[in-house]
C-alpha cells in the first residue's frame, strides 16, 4: 500500500469577495475539472475535460431552496493503492484531488466534498451537528451537453429525446457526438444512513436531468451518497473505470478470508431436463447429482433456487417434502461444494433478525435473496446480517444499485441488476446483453447466468424454465462462453445441465479454468449494443472474450496487452463458418497458434455469436 497526500491550497477565511470567482478543482493530470460558484444564493457546478464542457452550469442543493454561502475552501491531493477482495483488478490506484467547500445553507454549516480523478468526478455533502432534525432533499442537476444517444438502468435501455419528463434509472450513459462517453450514477450509498437510491428525472424547468434523494439529517458527520460522473473515450473505458469503487468506503470487515469468489452451478433452468437416463426436478436426488458434477469438475458453488421450501414464518421454514435439506447440505460439505440457498420474501417472512443465523446453521455458504425490493436501508441491514454470519449474499429481482458496496462489504458477491437469461426475449437478446454489459455493469458485479450449452434443447422448449416462445433464444455456445468472461461478477453462475457441458467438454474446459477474479482487465473493442472484446489477466495468462449482436461480424483483436518479448500459445474457441445463433447454435471449433505482442487475432462471429481465447506464455 502506498499513500501520498499533499495540501495544495491552504484553507482560507471568507473575506468579502474572496469567492466571487468560481472555485475549480482539477484532476491530477489537469485535464478534468469541476467548477463551483454561488449565484443569487444558489450553488452551481460544471464539469469539463480539456476544452470540452461535459456538464453545463447545474444547481446543487442539500436543503431545498436554502440560500448558500461559501465560507472556506481547501484542496488536497491523495495517491494511494488498495487491494479488493475480488474484482477486475488485483490492485486499484486511487489518485485524486479533493476540494472541501465549507458552506452555509440558510445559516446551517455544511461541507461539500468534490474529488477529481483523471477519469471522473464525485461529490457529496457532509452534515454538521446544527443540521440534525432538518429534512434534506439532496438535489443535483445534470445539464448533459452534446449527447447523441442515451442508455440507462437495469437493462441498458435506450432513451429517446430526453426532452420530456420521465423517470430514468441509474446508471445513465450518454454517448456524445464528439465520441466521449459520460456516465451518471452514485456511489457509497451503503455509508449514507437514511438515504435511499437516487431518482433521476428529466426536468423541463431546467432543461436537463435532476437527481434527487431525501432523508432526515441526523447531525454531525452524516454523509450523503456520492454523485458520480464517469468519463471515457469509449463505452469500454467506462466498464473498467474505478472512480465509483474508489469513492466507496474501504472494507469494513476485519476478516475476509471466508469470502471466496468462484463458479457455481444453478438448478433453476435445469428443471424438467431429461437426458433419457436422468430427469431433473426439485428433489434430493437431483441436488445430490448436481453436487457430484460440481465436485468432479472443480466447481466451487451450487445454488439451490426457489421451491426447496414451501413457506416461512415466525422463525420456521416448511421444507418441500421431496427435499431432505439436511442430507443435501451434509453431502455438499462432504464433497467440498459450497451451497447458496434461495430465500423469497413473497413466501412469508421468516423474521430477518434470525434469518441469516438460520441459513448459517443449515451450513449454507451464502444466500440468494429474491424479491427484497429496491430499499437501501433494508439492503444495508441484510448485507450486515449476512456478514455477521459469514454468509455471501446475491440479491435478485430488481435489487438496489448500491454501487461500490463490493469494496466496503465484499460478502456482496454479485446481484441481478440486469436481466438474466431466458425469461423474456424482449428483455434478453444479444443486443440487450451488450447494452447491459456496457451500461448496467457500471453499477458493479452482475449475476446474469450466462453459459447455456444446450441451446437447441432450450429453443425446443425442453426446460420447464425455458423461454416462453420457442426458437427465440439467439446465441451460440461460443458466445455463451465469452459472455461469462465479459461480465464481471464474484460468482459465475452456470445455468445448464451437466450433460450439456459434458457433451462439449473441450469447450467447457474454458469455463472450468477461467478464474472468477482478476489481476488486470482491458476492453479492446466496444460499442454499446453492438459488440465488445474484453481481455482479463490472471497471473501470466490472458483470457479474452468477444461478443456480437444479431449481426455476423468480424473484429480485429490487437494483442497489445501481451508482455513484449514473449511468445504465447493461443487456444482459440470460435464459431464455425456455418454457425448461427438460431439455426446452428452449437457449432464450434478450437484452433491453436502462437502469437506475440503487436500482432492481432481476427475474431469471426456468427449471428448472435462470440469468440474466446486463452493466451499462455510458451514454456
Please write the tens of the pLDDT for every residue from 139-148.
999 998 898 9
What percent of the chain lies above the pLDDT cut of 70?
A: 95
How far is the CA of 379 from the CAs of 61, 154, 409, 546, 554, in angstroms? 26, 17, 12, 34, 43
Q: What is the mean pLDDT of residues 51-79?
A: 97
pLDDT at 353: 86
Quickly name the fold that domain 3-247 has.
Beta-galactosidase; Chain A, domain 5 (2.70.98)
Q: What is the mean pLDDT of residues 592-601?
A: 98
pLDDT at 12: 35
Pick the closest to residue 274 from 461, 27, 487, 406 (CA basis). Answer: 461
Distance CA 79, CA 59 (A): 30
Please write the tens of the pLDDT for every residue from 524-539.
999 999 999 999 999 9
**Strands (E) located in 447-552:** 491-494, 520-527, 531-538, 541-548
Q: For the chain, which residues make up each domain, given as ranges?
A: 3-247, 259-417, 418-489+514-619
Q: What share of the chain is helix, strand, coil (3-state, %, to 5)?
A: 20, 40, 40
Give the mean pLDDT of the chain.
93
Burial (CB < 10 A; 0-12, 13-18, 19+), residue 233, is exposed
pLDDT at 464: 84
Whether pLDDT at 233 is above 90: yes
Please write the tens of the pLDDT for every residue from 473-483.
899 999 999 99
Distance CA 611, CA 152 (A): 27
Please write the tens of the pLDDT for every residue from 484-522.
999 999 999 999 999 999 999 999 999 999 999 999 999
Q: What is the mean pLDDT of residues 550-579?
A: 98
**Total count of residues recorded for the chain:** 619
- pLDDT class for 14, splitting at 50, 70, 90? very low
Whether residue 313 contacts residue 272, with contact meaning beta carbons closer than 8 Å, is answered with no
Query: Three-state DSSP class for 484?
Result: helix
Cβ–Cβ contacts within 10 Å for residue 594, how many?
A: 11
From first CA to last CA, the distance across the chain in angstroms is 32
- pLDDT class for 427, splitting at 50, 70, 90? low
Pick the closest to residue 390 from 370, 413, 414 (CA basis). Answer: 413
Q: Does domain 418-489+514-619 have CATH number 3.40.50.300?
A: no
Lowest-confidence pick of 10-24, 86-100, 182-196, 491-505: 10-24
Please write the tens of the pLDDT for every residue from 108-138.
999 999 999 999 999 999 999 999 999 999 9
Whether residue 518 contacts residue 92, with contact meaning beta carbons closer than 8 Å, is answered with no
Whether pLDDT at 542 is above 70: yes
Structure-block grid coordinates of residue 323 = 427435499
Q: Looking at domain 259-417, what is its CATH homologous superfamily?
A: Aldolase class I (3.20.20.70)
Q: What is the mean pLDDT of residues 177-185?
A: 97
- pLDDT class for 15, splitting at 50, 70, 90? very low
Tell me if 259-417 shares its fold with 418-489+514-619.
Answer: yes
pLDDT at 242: 98
Cut 0.75: pTM above it: yes
Whether residue 228 contacts residue 443, with contact meaning beta carbons closer than 8 Å, is answered with no
Distance CA 587, CA 81 (A): 45
Amino acid at each position: 500500500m502506498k499513500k501520498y497526500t499533499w495540501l495544495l491550497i491552504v484553507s482560507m477565511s471568507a473575506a468579502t469577495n474572496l469567492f466571487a470567482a468560481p472555485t475549480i478543482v482539477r484532476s491530477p493530470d489537469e485535464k478534468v475539472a469541476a467548477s463551483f460558484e454561488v449565484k443569487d444564493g444558489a450553488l452551481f457546478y460544471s464539469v469539463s475535460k480539456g476544452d470540452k464542457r461535459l456538464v453545463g452550469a447545474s444547481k446543487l442543493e442539500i436543503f431545498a431552496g436554502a440560500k448558500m454561502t461559501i465560507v472556506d475552501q481547501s484542496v488536497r491531493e491523495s495517491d494511494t493503492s488498495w487491494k479488493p477482495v475480488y474484482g477486475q483488478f488485483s490492485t486499484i490506484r486511487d489518485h485524486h484531488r479533493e476540494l472541501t467547500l465549507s458552506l452555509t445553507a440558510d445559516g446551517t454549516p455544511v461541507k461539500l466534498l468534490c474529488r477529481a480523478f483523471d477519469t471522473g468526478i464525485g461529490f457529496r455533502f457532509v452534515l454538521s451537528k446544527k443540521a440534525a432534525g432538518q429534512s434534506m432533499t439532496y438535489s443535483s442537476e445534470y445539464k448533459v451537453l452534446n449527447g447523441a444517444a442515451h442508455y440507462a438502468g437495469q437493462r441498458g435501455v435506450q432513451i429517446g429525446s430526453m426532452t420530456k419528463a420521465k423517470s430514468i434509472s441509474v446508471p445513465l450513459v450518454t454517448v456524445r457526438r464528439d465520441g466521449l462517453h459520460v456516465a451518471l450514477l452514485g456511489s457509497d450509498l451503503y455509508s449514507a444512513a437514511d438515504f435511499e437510491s437516487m431518482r433521476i428525472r428529466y426536468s423541463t424547468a431546467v432543461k436537463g436531468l435532476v437527481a434527487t434523494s431525501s432523508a432526515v439529517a441526523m447531525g454531525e458527520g452524516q454523509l450523503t451518497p456520492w454523485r458520480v460522473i464517469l468519463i471515457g473515450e469509449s463505452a469500454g473505458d467506462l466498464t473498467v473505470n474505478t472512480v465509483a469503487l474508489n469513492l466507496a468506503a474501504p472494507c469494513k470487515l476485519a476478516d475476509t478470508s471466508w469470502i471466496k469468489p468462484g463458479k457455481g452451478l444453478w438448478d433453476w433452468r435445469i428443471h424438467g431436463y431429461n437426458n433419457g437416463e436422468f430427469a431433473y426436478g426439485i428433489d434430493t436426488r437431483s441436488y445430490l447429482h448436481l453436487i457430484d458434477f460440481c465436485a468432479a469438475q472443480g466447481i466451487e458453488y451450487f445454488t439451490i433456487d426457489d421451491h426447496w421450501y414451501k413457506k416461512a414464518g415466525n422463525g420456521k421454514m416448511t421444507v418441500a417434502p421431496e427435499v431432505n435439506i439436511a442430507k443435501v447440505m451434509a453431502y455438499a460439505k462432504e464433497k467440498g461444494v459450497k451451497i447458496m440457498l434461495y430465500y423469497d420474501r413473497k413466501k412469508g417472512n421468516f423474521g430477518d433478525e434470525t434469518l441469516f443465523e438460520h441459513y448459517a446453521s443449515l451450513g449454507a455458504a451464502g444466500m440468494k435473496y429474491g424479491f427484497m425490493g429496491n430499499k437501501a436501508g433494508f439492503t444495508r441491514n441484510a448485507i450486515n446480517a449476512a456478514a455477521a454470519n459469514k454468509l455471501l449474499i446475491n440479491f435478485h429481482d430488481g435489487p438496489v444499485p448500491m454501487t461500490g458496496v463490493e469494496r466496503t462489504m465484499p460478502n456482496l458477491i454479485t446481484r441481478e441488476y440486469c436481466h438474466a437469461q431466458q425469461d423474456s426475449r424482449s428483455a434478453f437478446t444479444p443486443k440487450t446483453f451488450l447494452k447491459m454489459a456496457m451500461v448496467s455493469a457500471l453499477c458493479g458485479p452482475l449475476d446474469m447466468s450466462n453459459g447455456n450449452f444446450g441451446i437447441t434443447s432450450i429453443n425446443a422448449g425442453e426446460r420447464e424454465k425455458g423461454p416462453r416462445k420457442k426458437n427465440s433464444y439467439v446465441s451460440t455456445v461460443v458466445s455463451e462462453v465469452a459472455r461469462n468472461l465479459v461480465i464481471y461478477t464474484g460468482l459465475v453462475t452456470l445455468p445448464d445441465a451437466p450433460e450439456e457441458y459434458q457433451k462439449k467438454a473441450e469447450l467447457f474446459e474454458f469455463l472450468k479454468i477461467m478464474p472468477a477474479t482478476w489481476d488486470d482487465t482491458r476492453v479492446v473493442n466496444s460499442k454499446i449494443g453492438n459488440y465488445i472484446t474484453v481481455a482479463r489477466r490472471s497471473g501470466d495468462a490472458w483470457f479474452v472474450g468477444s461478443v456480437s449482436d444479431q449481426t455476423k461480424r468480424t473484429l480485429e483483436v490487437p494483442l497489445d496487452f501481451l508482455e513484449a518479448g514473449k511468445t504465447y500459445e493461443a487456444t482459440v474457441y470460435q464459431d464455425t463458418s456455418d454457425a448461427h445463433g438460431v439455426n446452428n447454435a452449437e457449432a464450434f471449433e478450437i484452433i491453436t497458434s502462437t502469437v506475440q505482442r503487436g500482432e492481432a487475432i481476427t475474431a469471426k462471429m456468427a449471428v448472435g455469436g462470440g469468440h474466446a481465447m486463452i493466451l499462455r506464455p510458451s514454456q
